[in-house]
Structure formats: structure tokens, C-alpha cells
Amino acid sequence: MKKLLIISSLLFCQLALAEVAVIVHPSNNNQLDEATISKIFLGREKSFADGQSVVPLALADAAPASSAFNDAVLKKSSSQLKAYWSKLVFTGKGTPPKEIGSDEEMLKLVATNPSVIGYVDASKVDASVKVALKF
């Protein structure tokens, strides 16, 4: 029983330590910091520093990278984020990022559109996208 508990604890720690990579199109040369990324995903920033419009995409709540990103970057739980966006949508002041179902789909969408910014589990990143920042 003790061995099972120890193994479970180690697996949980590994999941908690998973890195999240914020990704952009390879042609995007904008410098992005945590504050700017947070503003983009909270609807407070509508363009990159070079003036190009930005389209944030978020992973569905079920994805482990989603809660890690929300906690580390947005400093909000899933329920806090839903409440935040509900208020903005109700008042007509914002639209939440479109939710994407998988890391693979996110990679494909970011790789094909220079305006898109998203995030995935850092271990899923491939050469089709550029990593702007890791958390």
C-alpha cells in the first residue's frame, strides 16, 4: 500500500511539473513576456507589438496544459476564468479565446496563421511553430 501511495505521489508531481509552451507562427518576431501574454489571453491586448492583430486560442479545460497555463500565466482557476469571461461577454466588452480540443490541433492552427497565439504541453512542440515563452 505504501509503495502504491509513493508511486502515485511521484506521478502527480511529474504532472504538476509539466512545462507549458506559448507558441506563435514561425514568422512572428514579437518579443512576448508573461504580462503581455496574460493581457492577450484576458482580452486586454488586441495586437502584437508590431501592430499585427492577435488571435488567442486556448486548450479545452480537460487538457492538463490548460490548467497549468491558467494558474501560471493568468493567475486564475478554471471557474474564475469562466466568471471573468461571462461578465465581459454579458457586458459586450469581450469574447473569450476559442477553445481547441488537442495539442495537435493547436499546433496545426498556430503553424498556419501568423496572427494566432496558443499554448501546448512543451513536450508536444515541433518545428512547425515558434516557442515564445515556457512556463
pLDDT band per the 50, 70, 90 thresholds, residue 18: confident
Q: What is the pLDDT of residue 6?
A: 45
- Residue 28 to residue 73: CA distance in whole angstroms: 20
- Residue 64 to residue 61: CA distance in whole angstroms: 8
CB atoms under 10 Å from CB of 30, counted, come to 15
Q: What is the pTM of this model?
A: 0.86
The answer, yes or no, to whether residue 2 has pLDDT greater than 90, is no
Q: What is the pLDDT of residue 94?
A: 93
Q: What are the structural domains of the chain?
A: 19-134 (3.40.190.10)
- Residue 8 to residue 128: CA distance in whole angstroms: 35
Task: Write out the three cell numbers for 72.
Answer: 501560471
Ramachandran bin of 20, using left for φ above 0, alpha for ψ from -120 to 50, beta for the remaining angles: beta
Helix spans in the chain (H): 2-16, 34-41, 64-69, 78-91, 103-112
- Residue 53 to residue 91: CA distance in whole angstroms: 23
Residue 101 CA, distance from chain mean position: 12
Q: What is the pLDDT of residue 17?
A: 54
Q: What is the pLDDT of residues 79-132, one digit of tens each?
A: 999 999 999 999 999 999 999 999 999 999 999 999 999 999 999 999 999 999
Instruction: Compute CA distances 72 → 19, 82, 95, 115, whole Å.
Output: 10, 16, 21, 23
